[in-house]
Amino acid sequence: MGESLIKICIVEDNKYMREGWQTILDFEPDFCVLGAYNSCESAFESGEINRSNVVLMDIELSGMTGIEGVRYLKIHQPKINVIMATVFDDDRNIFDALCAGAVGYLTKKVSPEELCHAIRDAYRGGSPMTPQIARRVISSLHESPDDETKLNERELQILNQLATGNSYKTIAEEIFLSVDGVRYHIRNIYEKLQVNNRSEAVAKGLKKRII
């Protein structure tokens, strides 16, 4: 593993960027650029991409976008480490790309050194990204003590039961309460969560990560 070449493919529609990257990467002794393509379609057609260890993928491509491309690759060649490269660093793009299967996310202003480091990092099982992007990803995990959505123990317990699909009757049996007792708490849950039915409550609970 130590001496093996890292096989790389580049998918980027801007010719100058693409060739610039290729030149930089080819200069590294442990890198081998298998191919550089201007679209996902041409990259997938070539077949070279299937042999690569790391793919550097632009996000804004005509035809199949980079996000669609990474999703496709993730399904067909899950071992390939895709690094997204983009001029955009808005939350939506970052999340869509990472959720679709990218392991890292770089903005295009990275230096050649950072680029090379990121590729090695991705190859070795890391997740290269700028500290700012890392922070955004982490922030998305944080529990939101945002508003006054404070459910107590009993309510959380019941909301969890709601999410499992149990009927009021079953819930009542599970938690040793009357059906009307269950009802009582559910009314309160609905009010606190500002919803008026079961599935909306479950959706909100899951989105707010309180269950």
Partner DNA sequence: TGAAACACTGCATATTCATGCAGTACTAAC
Partner DNA sequence: GTTAGTACTGCATGAATATGCAGTGTTTCA
Question: Quick one: what does residue 178 bind among DNA, a copy of itself, none, with the CB cut-off 5 to 8 Å set by partner type?
Answer: DNA
Could you give the 3-state DSSP secondary structure of residue 59?
Answer: coil
Residue 70 tokens read as 């990474």
If one asks whether residue 192 binds DNA (CB under 7 A), the answer comes out as no
Task: Kindly indicate which of the ranges 10-18, 39-47, 58-66, 127-135 contains the residues binding a copy of itself, using the contact rule CB under 8 A.
Answer: 127-135
Question: Quick one: what does residue 150 bind among a copy of itself, DNA, none, with the CB cut-off 5 to 8 Å set by partner type?
Answer: none
Question: Quick one: what does residue 177 bind among a copy of itself, DNA, none, with the CB cut-off 5 to 8 Å set by partner type?
Answer: DNA
**To which H or E segment does residue 68 belong?**
helix 66-76
Classify residue 9 by burial, with Cβ atoms within 10 Å: 0-12, 13-18, 19+. buried
If one asks whether residue 184 binds DNA (CB under 7 A), the answer comes out as yes
Task: Kindly indicate which of the ranges 33-41, 79-87, 112-120, 177-185 contains the residues binding DNA, using the contact rule CB under 7 A.
Answer: 177-185
If one asks whether residue 194 binds DNA (CB under 7 A), the answer comes out as no
Phi, psi angle pair for 176, to nearest 5°: 55, 65
Number of CB atoms found within 10 A of residue 177's CB: 18
Question: Which string of x and - marks every residue 175-204 that binds a copy of itself (by CB under 8 A)?
Answer: --------------------xxxxxxxxx-
- Minimum CB separation of residue 104 from a copy of itself in Å reads 8
Question: Quick one: what does residue 66 bind among DNA, a copy of itself, none, with the CB cut-off 5 to 8 Å set by partner type?
Answer: none
Q: How many angstroms separate the CA atoms of 13 and 59, rounded?
A: 10
Phi, psi angle pair for 3, to nearest 5°: -95, -5
